[in-house]
Every structure is written in structure tokens, then in C-alpha cells.
Amino acid sequence: MPEINEKQFLENFQYFDKEVVLEIINIFLEEYPQRMETLQTNINERDFDQLRFNAHSLKGVVANFVAPEVQELAKTLELKGANKDIKDLDTIYNELKDKADVMVSELKELKNHFK
């Protein structure tokens, strides 16, 4: 099942310079592995302040790509960090990672619309 609402994504970026859209996507793709590794470290170390901050950051970036489920899972991690709630952290992270990995694949495909 797709994570990105492709129609909405293309509508949102239709008036942007193609190079800018490609740069936004490429920066995210480049940073993605480190972002996810950092979130995993925050969870493992129970660093709730950093979990809140990093999940919030991911949520904001993902909003650009119109991937509501990924965005919602990032928000859930953000709230768990804010509330110092350890319940289901690993499960939520794994679901986020699975859906975000699909989103990353979709972004790689969407780049073709802006070449």
C-alpha cells in the first residue's frame, strides 16, 4: 500500500522549480538512514527529550511528502518522548521504519517526475 499520496504530492510541488524539489527529496534520502538510526538510539538509551525532538523533526520533513501514516507514527513517537512513555516504543519504531522505508522507495520513483 502506498505511503505517499502521489496526487497530492505532485499538486503541492507543481509550481516549484524541479531542481528544488529534487534537492528536497535528495537531502531527505541522504539523511534518512541517520535519522532512523538516531531515533533507534534515542529509544535504546531512553533519551526521551531527544526522541521527542528528533521525531518532531522527522514528522515535519515527512509532512512535505504527504505520507500521513508515516507522519502520524513520527508524531506518536514525539508524544511518547514528551510523556516519557516507554510502552510499545520498539513496536512503533518498527512500524515507522517499515512504512518510512516504503515512502523512501516511493520518493525515489517520484524523482522521475521532476527530471
**42/35 Cα distance (integer angstroms):** 11
**18-114 fold:** Four Helix Bundle (Hemerythrin (Met), subunit A) (1.20.120)
Q: What is the pLDDT of residues 33-73, one digit of tens each?
A: 999 999 999 999 999 999 999 999 999 999 999 999 999 99
Q: What is the pLDDT of residues 73-112, one digit of tens each?
A: 999 999 999 999 999 999 999 999 999 999 999 999 999 8
Q: Buried b vs exposed e over 71-85: b needs ≥16 C-beta within 10 Å? A: bebbbbbbebbeeee
Q: How is the chain split into domains, by residue range? A: 18-114
Supply the pTM of this predicted model.
Answer: 0.94
